[in-house]
Amino acid sequence: MRNAWRFGWMVVLGSAGVACSVELRHDLSEDAANEIIVVLDEAGIAAGKKRGEGAKDAEWVVKVPKGDATRAWRVLKENELPRRRDREFGEVFQKGGLVPSAAEERALFLHALSGKLANMLRAVPSVIDARVHVAVDEAKAIGGDAAKPVSASVVVKERVADGARGLETDAVKRLVAAAVPGLRADAVEVVRVTVAHREAARSAMEQVGPFSVSSGSATALLVVLVVTIGLIVSLSGIALWLVMRLRAARVDT
């Protein structure tokens, strides 16, 4: 009997989750979906993932309770999720098509290099987003005369906890300079945008029967519970009526 009741509550909770959740993001890689779920959990928002219907293996969907959708969107916006990913060399220099000119090839190289550097900076846990622009004098090629150095501009947005220093500007300059032939560290300009790290407010929890749920899901779960209990009572009444009819039929015979 205990297992039957446990199974019944699982069905109720599952029904509540399916009926009352909304799609937050789709076409995600599994890693991106997992990162979103972790960040939302830290903000007190219950989220789940599933494969998109008819989607490729790499495409996932993240869902949240309907009552938490607005706050979930705000959390993703604050954390720049899902993370941007710029094209790198393998995607920029794809085989096929017309052979580019020397100037076009140099521009593609700089675009791919900028994307590679930005993606490297985004891999740092505190970095929310990063942009890199590498420029070169059109009169020379990369790695040419040291009297005509290339330059680079970097914008880094990161979330730093109280008392923490975050990325060091000089470290960013050295990283970019080391990746670009002919680039000196003093030719790299870095702008850091720091967002104060704050503990995400946990959503208010409400007690619905034996369950503790977020306030955004409480009403939906309550409706499901009431409907389920109503069905159980109705079915019990029908079963009792059938038993009484069966007994009456036996007495008559």
**DSSP per-residue letters across the chain:** -HHHHHHHHHHHHHHHHHHTEEEEEEEE-HHHHHHHHHHHHHTT---EEEEPTT--TT-EEEEEEGGGHHHHHHHHHHTT-SPP----HHHHS-SSSPPPPHHHHHHHHHHHHHHHHHHHHHTSTTEEEEEEEEE--TTS-TT--TTS--EEEEEEEEEE-TT---S-HHHHHHHHHHHSTT--GGGEEEEEEEEE--PPPPPPEEEETTEEEEHHHHHHHHHHHHHHHHHHHHHHHHHHHHHHHHHHHHHH-
**pLDDT digit string (tens) for the chain, length 253 residues:** 455 444 444 444 444 554 578 889 888 888 888 989 988 888 888 888 888 776 555 688 999 888 888 999 998 988 888 887 776 666 666 656 666 666 667 777 888 888 899 999 988 888 899 999 988 776 554 444 443 457 999 999 998 877 777 889 999 999 999 988 888 999 999 999 988 765 544 445 565 555 555 555 666 666 777 778 888 888 888 888 888 888 877 776 6
